[in-house]
Amino acid sequence: MNDFLISIGGLENGWRTDSPPIKDCGYFVVDNGWLKLIKELIEDLIKLGWDKQITQVKEKFGGLRFYINGGSDEIFERITEAENKSYEICEVTGEPGTLRTDIGWYRTLCDVEYEKIKNRKDGI
């Protein structure tokens, strides 16, 4: 993902526009399973004319949240599509997943990752 971000010249920090371009996926507060989804989203948004200005990328209530400052209706529709799709992709592995609500924190996980968390003694 970092190579991809470098190849597109990075993303602009929408909060601090005087900051250097974002070229490290560590800016995204998500597990690696969603990085492919985010990469595809960024590629599509650029094709739609997005200015590459981003304010936040994170997980919330088990789903992807991708925040930008502005864009066309088409851009926001594409973001909504990716956010909705995230509820079908394991945030850890990228495999098909399901929203899990019974483990203390809403997470979208495949069966294997769900069982790992469910069977942990600390429950996290």
pLDDT digits 0-9 by tens, 1-10: 999 999 999 9
The residues, any chain, with a CB within 8 Å of residue 3's CB and separated by 6 or more, are: none
- What share of the chain in percent tops pLDDT 90? 93
| pLDDT, mean of residues 15-38 | 96
Check if the beta carbon of residue 24 is closer than 8 Å to that of residue 35: no
Which residues face 92 on adjacent strands?
A: none
pLDDT at 124: 54
| pLDDT, mean of residues 50-70 | 97
Structure-token pair, residue 73:
């209706």
Model pTM score: 0.93
3-state secondary structure of 65: strand
